[in-house]
Amino acid sequence: MQTNRFWRGVKRLVAWGALIGIVLVLIAFWQFRGSAVATDYELRLSRKADYSALLDSLLPHIGHYAAFRFYADHLDLEHSFKPGLYRLTEGMDVIRIVRKIKLGDQEPVRLTINNVRIMPQLAGKLAGQIDADSLEILQVLTNRATAQRVGVDSLRLFSIFLPDSYEIYWTMTPDELVDRFKREYDRFWTAERDAKRTRSGLSRFEVMTLASIVYEETRQVDEMPRVAGVYVNRLKKGIPLQADPTVKYAMQDFQLRRILHKHLKYESPYNTYLHKGLPPSPICMPSKQAIDAVLNYEQHNYLFFCARPTFDGYHNFAVTFAEHKRNAQAYAAELNRRKIK
């Protein structure tokens, strides 16, 4: 009797032990394969980050902390994690999270640049979109060795940056980014565009420089070829361009609303009132439409243009200076009426 009771007790213990084991296995499976991410989270691991920084950034946003640490230690994540931008989505489990970071399975990002006039401004815009601060980026952009590496001189480096949206990885270095933009620049200059360029007699760099002036003069895409035609006419006749945006650039005062005679005397190689021909480099990052407008410039006899007094963004064009003077007086009168100084 005693023996039977003993064995019945043993069987109960074994049964309970098996049940507990099953429960523990289920708990472990739930912790490893269950949802560890409650809401979508974007994890950015800098190239400068250590493992502590990884844990500090990640752990507050995931569940199953013990399971994560166990599996991370098992795969030696501390010594093998890859920097990058990782999107952790709702429902993702511990195993997928650890493997994603270990393998460097990061997400690409959309880098967008436009409306840039000077290198420091470009560095500032790029700083928010790659793993580098503006100073680090600016040092690369203004380094002569960078320009030489991609086959241009320092003044022309700004020209290779075309405004658009690009898919890149957040961990791309500033040097890698310059290389990427040079490839995009070379891709932009197709045989068809180069063939059109010969019509004006301008080099690629000169096209970019003239397009920057056109872009600053008008944002009306349908008017850009006509504005470009005025400047091509002036270049061919040896007439100074007398482009107001070049004065703003020379003075580095982009808030000027009205160019006065005193501004036209500002000494700078960028002041096209004082110096014939194109300025030494682009005065902004021109749109692709402005570049194509220069390549497809309108053939006409206009040598002058002036903003319309209607302030609709368009211009009045003129062949003679007398006609242009009347247009300019009408515009100046409207500026005075609106008390724009």
**pLDDT, tens digit, for every residue of 138-162?**
999 999 999 999 999 888 899 999 9
Number of domains comprising the chain? 3
50 within domain boundaries:
yes
Does residue 231 sit in the same domain as residue 295? yes
330 within domain boundaries:
no
CB 298 within 8 A of CB 214: no
127 within domain boundaries:
yes
Q: What is the pLDDT of residue 213?
A: 97
CA distance 276 to 243: 11
Q: How far is CA 98 from the centre of its chain?
A: 30
CB 72 within 8 A of CB 98: yes
Query: Of the ranges 209-213, 232-236, 326-330, which one carries the lowest mean pLDDT score?
Result: 326-330
Does residue 147 sit in the same domain as residue 243? no
311 within domain boundaries:
no
Does residue 89 sit in the same domain as residue 153? no
- In which domain, by residue range, is 65 found? 31-107
Q: The domain spanning residue 82 has which CATH number?
A: 3.30.1490.480
3 within domain boundaries:
no
Does residue 71 sit in the same domain as residue 98? yes
**pLDDT, tens digit, for every residue of 235-278?**
999 999 999 999 999 999 988 888 888 999 999 999 999 999 99
How many CB atoms neighbour CB 133 within 10 A?
Answer: 14
